[in-house]
Amino acid sequence: MKYAPELKRSATIALWLILLTFPIMVIQVNTIENIVVWRWMNIAGVGTVAFVLSFLWQIYQHRKTESPLPVSAHLPAFQRLLADPKLYRPMLIFIAAFALVFPFTASHYQINIMSTALIYIMLGLGLNIEVGLAGLLDLGYVAFYAVGAYSYALLNYHFGLGFWTLLPAGALLAAFFGILVGFPVLRLRGDYLAIVTLAFAEILRLVLENWNALSFGPSGISNIPRPGLFGIELTLEQSAVYMYFLLIALCLLTIFVIYRLQHSRIGRAWVALREDELACQAMGIDKTRAKLTAFALGATWAGMAGVLFAAKTTFINPASFTFMESAMILAIVVLGGMGSIVGVIIAALAIILLPEYLRVLGDYRMLLFGAALIGMMVFRPRGLITPSSRTYVFQPSEHQERT
């Protein structure tokens, strides 16, 4: 039979999925009547769907190897769209119009969710400097996020400083901590660097949780003021709209600055450091300076996002800055594409918004969300947007052509 290997492989995948989801999809305990309900139709549906989808994917892969397409044809549709200027500009106009109209047509809840997604865009772009460009695996990025949030909350509580004063102050304090972490780990890379940064984040979280005299411990800090608008008193809905537009402006600033950094001399040094550290050092690039700059600039945007988070929620405590936050931000960078600005933006919107808009599915919400992430990593292992490296073509001059 022509497709016998594909059928066998699809049946194996379906069987494994049945075994993995059996306790969730089949067994249901009724605690009121003290009985166990066996839902066999659910597992039959899971197995059938898994078998069909896997078989179709195997057929697609088989035919693709038989008749290879040009490289551009394998790009995702939206990546081909981004490469076409005729479609790129109308898409930007549509996104800008949607962003301007959204807060006036959406509910207060939706505005808050979108504001949270914008904060994660800033966090993802900041971590993209360290992980995506410089290749420094940082699992404690949430520590700089916490430094920004607590710097705003504590300095406002003790000294009465305002939002606009503490926004750059929080960014500078986070950059200082980034350099402080960067110095001891200059000789580390890969897993060892990840362990040290994770340890730093956990130490900072435990200090904030137990140093009651400084950070008020697990109780946290409440009544943090929202950003003001020339002394005008704003209602709760008006404050949400104002915060939304403020986040839009700061996200645009973040995109502009990181784009310029990415295509600058230091950005090319980061990419060289990521690809081959020894070759980078042999070419005369200051490895110490490049690493410290990546840590400091990445932490700067995390500190700024922390100040915005504290101003948006008006309450913070150490439970808001756990390892899961670092894992979420790292997932945004990896799923979006290492070094890709557009990919990080799309991934942040998807990871933050999808679980909220899938709440109508109830208990199956996170199951479908996790399946979507797994499928994305199977089909696009290098991320949604794979940044293309620049190519240089040598064109000989007229004198060289004559000779």
- The fold adopted by the segment(s) 106-379 is ABC transporter involved in vitamin B12 uptake, BtuC (1.10.3470)
Give the residue from 132, 187, 181 showing the smallest Cα distance to 299.
Answer: 181
pLDDT in tens, 332-380: 888 888 888 888 998 899 888 888 877 776 666 667 777 777 777 777 7
| Alpha carbon separation from 48 to 17, 23, 43 (Å, rounded) | 10, 17, 9
List the structure tokens of 154.
């504590």
Give pTM, 2 decimals.
0.79
Reported as type and span, the H/E element at residue 283 is none
Higher pLDDT, 190 or 81: 190
> Above 80 in pLDDT, residue 193?
yes
> Above 90 in pLDDT, residue 116?
yes
271: CB partners within 8 A, 6+ apart: 133, 339
* pLDDT grade for 149, boundaries at 50, 70 and 90: very high
User: Contact, 281 vs 127, CB < 8 A?
Assistant: no
User: Contact, 390 vs 343, CB < 8 A?
Assistant: no
Span 318-323, mean pLDDT? 88
What residue type is assigned to position 171 of the chain? A
pLDDT in tens, 1-53: 566 777 888 888 888 888 887 777 777 777 777 788 888 887 888 888 888 88
> Above 90 in pLDDT, residue 173?
yes
> Above 50 in pLDDT, residue 88?
yes
Reported as half-sphere exposure (CB side, CA atoms, 13 A), residue 399 has a value of 0
Window from 141-155, 326-340, 384-398 with minimum mean pLDDT: 384-398
